[in-house]
A and B are shown apart, each in its own frame.
Chain A
Amino acid sequence: MNFLTVDDSSTMRKIVSLALKGAGHDSDEAENGQQALDALKTKKPGCIILDINMPVMNGIDFLKARQADASIKSIPVIVLTTQDDQALKDQAMSLGANAFIVKPFQKEDILAVIAKVTS
């Protein structure tokens, strides 16, 4: 399955990419929400891994934009953030996020969530 990893940290994008590659998936990357929206115009991934705190356009604004765009609304989104905050989690889920994972993540956990979200 093809993924789009949206995170301003290149290190974290590589880590996610390696974890996905190990499970037989491939991943494209975007540095923020706006780059992700641009990328989604040309290619629709099977799932989006989304950070929250990013420059230019953060994860919450991206979720709002996704909700308003019918062409990408159905793509599952897994939020992957350092912010262990229940209010933020509730907000993300109310904006259509399919899962919420706090960094640092375990590979097995994220793969299990992916399997659940994309099944």
Chain B
Amino acid sequence: MQKLSAFAALGILTSLAAVALSILNLPGIAAVLSALAALAALLCLSIGLSKKNKAQTSDEACQAPAPPSPLVEIQEEAPALAPTSPSGSELEDLLCQAQTLSPFLNAILAAIPQTTEDATFHVLEKYEAVRDITTKAANLARELAESAHSEKGNESGLIISHSRETVQAERRTVQAMAKQTRDNTKKLRLVAKELESGLDFVKGIEEITDRSQLIAFNMAIEAAHIGEKGRGFKVIVGELRTLNDRTLEFSQRISGLFSRFRDYTAEMVSSMAEQSDQAIGELEESMAASEKAVESLIGASEEADNFSRELAQDTMQIDKALDSILESLQFQDISRQMVERSRAILAEIEEKLLSLRSLVGHSEGPEGERATIHFTQTKDRLIGKAITRAEREAISEVSR
């Protein structure tokens, strides 16, 4: 009954693991565990069938196609082996059970094929490699995220954390520059206006000069009318005309200079406005790109952080799945070893039963005593060969 429970538990465990692995998209391993679950179910079914068939006679059981459960059957038939009253028919029954058990155990061993186990290990190794890569990727992502958010950490962390501030400072500087340029342009426009005023002033001088020339001309006429007395006056008029000419020449030169200066200022104002607008526009575009790059870098680091968390969760799930598979494989291996040992013990039981059968007809007297001694020796040797406590108890139970 304990074995039935153990195999049932194994079946349930492996079935659950198979379902879990199917959910985790691991159909290969799930298939292996499903096979193991099927094997456990087969064992449970066999044990159940053997208990159901126990009411049948030994001959019927021997001929029955359904595989009996050897350990349960042997335990139930054990009292028949009592050395004080060995019965020929009971020994025959037991021998029959033992002979039926051998192919059953062979079938169990065949149901745990080495190739399936090898395939499982192959998948596990790949799985391990994937887990290693996942772990490395998670570590890299976490390092990137940590460096991105680091205040004191490495250089890249500082660059990223300061880049946003730097770009914002640059933007403020460029905005100040743009304002300064606009102010300078305004001032240059005022200078241009002043130059226009200067030109007007020069025009005023020219008008005064023209009128002065006209006065000088009239004075020259009046000097001619007064004759000899106006000679001195003629000299003054001549000086006045010379002064007028020089004033005119000077004012024209000043006017030309002012005009060129005004044209140059106007051109400079226009050029400065145009070029500064273009330069500021380009700077702003560049800064917008920098800001975008910094933001995307920060965003990338945040994504890396999230990614590393997701990878860490995936790695944990992989680890759990690996542990579950390793545990299932251990159960399978332990079960196989137990079956192999049971098969060896059974072979010896079968051999000894055959020798006991020859003695059973002489249970009275010296032959009966020899049979009892032989049986006890066989039992002790089998117990000595048993490895687990369960095996020792089973053999003791059988030979009680």
A83 surroundings in chain B (CB, below 8 A): 387-389
Given the known interface contacts A22-B128, A53-B387, the answer about A106 and B333 at a Cβ–Cβ threshold of 8 Å is: no
A90 to B387, CA, bound (A): 16
Q: How far is the CA of A85 from the CA of B386 in the complex (A)?
A: 12
Nearest Cβ in chain B — how far from A14, in angstroms?
A: 5
B334 close to A15 (CB less than 8 A):
no
B295-340 residues with Cβ-Cβ distance < 8 A to A are 319, 322-323, 326-327, 329-334, 336-337
Interfacial chain B residues near A42, Cβ < 8 Å: none
Residues of B in contact, count (CB < 8 Å): 22
How many whole Å from A117's CB to the nearest CB in chain B? 20
Interface contact A82-B334, CB-CB below 8 Å: yes
| B interface SS class | helix
A11 interface neighbour in B117, B125, B323, Cβ under 8 Å: B117
Say yes or no for A75: interface residue by CB 8 A criterion.
Answer: no
Q: Which residues of A contact B125 (CB under 8 A)?
A: 18
Which residues in window 94-111 of A have CB below 8 A to B?
103-108
Q: Does B287 lie at the interface of the complex (its beta carbon under 8 Å from any beta carbon of A)?
A: no
Give bound CA distance, A15 to B327, whole Å: 9
A82 to B334, CA, bound (A): 7
Residue pair A22, B319 in contact (C-beta under 8 Å):
yes
Contact assessment for B389 and A85 in the assembled complex, using a CB-CB cutoff below 8 Å: yes
A84 and B390 CA atoms in complex are apart in Å by: 10
Instruction: Tell whether, in the assembled complex, residue A9 and residue B329 are in contact, meaning their CB atoms are under 8 Å apart.
Output: no
A64 sits at the interface (CB 8 A): no
**In the complex, are the beta carbons of A12 and B387 less than 8 A apart?**
no
Distance from B149 Cβ to chain A, minimum over Cβ atoms (Å): 28
* Contact A104 B327, beta carbon cutoff 8 Å: yes
For A104, the chain B residues whose CB sits under 8 A away are: 327, 330-331, 334
Separation of A11 and B323 alpha carbons in the complex (Å)? 15
Number of A interface residues in the complex (CB < 8 A): 20
Asked if A21 lies at the interface with its beta carbon under 8 angstroms from chain B, I say yes
CA distance A61 to B330 in the complex (A): 24
Please tell me if the beta carbons of A107 and B334 are within 8 angstroms of each other in the complex.
no
* CB of A65 closer than 8 Å to a CB of B: no
For A82, give the chain B residue with the smallest CB separation: B334
Chain A residues closer than 8 Å to B319, beta-carbon distance: 22
Q: How far is the CB of A91 from chain B (nearest CB, A)?
A: 14
B134 to chain A, nearest CB (A): 12
Q: In the complex, what distance in Å separates the CA atom of A36 from the CA atom of B7? A: 34
Q: Nearest chain A CB to B72's CB is how many angstroms away?
A: 22
Interface hits, B327-375 → A, CB 8 Å: 327, 329-334, 336-337
Residue of A whose beta carbon sits closest to that of B330: A104
Contact A82 B124 (CB under 8 A): no
Q: Which A residues are CB-close (under 8 A) to B387?
A: 53, 82-83
Would you give the shortest CB distance from A68 to chain B, in whole angstroms? 25
A3 vs chain B, min Cβ distance (A) = 16
A18→B128 contact, CB < 8 A: yes
Chain A 1-20 near chain B by CB (<8 Å), digits 1 or 0: 00000000101101100110
B217 contacts chain A at the CB level, 8 A cutoff? no
Tell me if B233 counts as interface (CB < 8 A to partner A). Answer: no
Residues of A within 8 A of B (CB): 9, 11-12, 14-15, 18-19, 21-22, 53, 82-85, 103-108
21 cross-chain CB contacts under 8 A: A9-B337, A11-B117, A11-B336, A12-B333, A14-B121, A15-B326, A15-B330, A15-B333, A18-B124, A18-B322, A22-B128, A22-B131, A82-B387, A83-B387, A84-B389, A85-B389, A103-B334, A104-B334, A105-B330, A107-B322, A107-B323
Which 8 residue pairs spanning A and B have beta carbons closest together? Answer: A104-B330, A11-B333, A53-B387, A107-B323, A15-B326, A14-B121, A9-B333, A12-B333
